[in-house]
Amino acid sequence: MTTTPDTSPARTTDTLARPSRPSEQPRTHEPLDPARLRRAKAAYTTRFLADHLRVEQHLSLVSGAGVQPRSGDIVLARVVEIGQHQRLESPASRRASLFLGDEVLVAYGHRYAPDQFEAEVPDDLGAAHLVAAGGVIGRVTARHASIEEATLLQPIGLLADDEGVLTLDRFAPHRVSEAAGRGPRPTVVAVLGTSMNSGKSTTLACPVRGPVASGLRVSARQGHRHRRRRGSGDVPRRRGVAGARLHGLRVPVDVPPRAHAGARPPHLDGRRPHRA
């Protein structure tokens, strides 16, 4: 185990994270036993790190008062209290039951979910909460009245290799880049949001209607995790925008017909769509 002063500059993070300040407080780098890592329950958020974790034998845990986590940092944490989320979704979308004392691999992140939790990435490695079953850890600032208190986690340390702390950004499978040297491409409009029940589907349904009414061909897709009511767990799946069929669009071939049975566009009946 080695201890070094932390004088490194802030790592890149999203705009919601607090600004970083250099710290003279110590950081501890503790070698991580590969067997211990294999026993830990990995979350869905860490799925793109799986290959790296299998081959990398020189990982360490970074901890100490000088450590300030950032959104996307991977952390090994221990379950100290079971709350709202009693199971953790694995990289294969299976649900693993959580028990006191379990060690889990999760990712730091902000969350704004009006029907569940509002949470922020803390500025230390103190106790935090599991705010999403897919493996997001943050410190809860507010919760819905119908939701139990969040499952409590005690971070042990950030995972690191010779290049630094492991982050989701480092292992992202795709990058946004300019389409240089390509010919004409269709216009793509994206509606993005990180909050549940914020009106993303409603917002997208309206601009879809205009081009369709003008005789243009529109391909509409809604990307999210479709939850199965029964079965082994959540399975990532694309499906068409709710109500698109009623606007003259054909239901995508990769969508089970029952997913649209009886669907009404939320802007027609004044109700927001319910999401589990």
pLDDT tens digit sequence for 122-156: 999 999 999 999 999 999 999 999 999 999 999 99
Please answer whether residues 64 and 3 qualify as being in contact, where contact means their C-beta atoms are separated by less than 8 angstroms. Answer: yes
Residues of the chain where predicted confidence (pLDDT) is lower than 70: 1-25, 178-183, 194, 223-276
The span from the CA of 125 to the CA of 181, in Å, is: 46
Nearest to 98, CA basis, from 108, 119, 83, 114: 83
- Domain positions in the chain: 2-165, 200-263
pLDDT in the model for residue 19: 42
pLDDT in the model for residue 99: 97
Please answer whether residues 129 and 155 qualify as being in contact, where contact means their C-beta atoms are separated by less than 8 angstroms. Answer: no
pLDDT tens digit sequence for 10-39: 444 343 334 444 455 678 889 999 999 999
pLDDT in the model for residue 121: 96
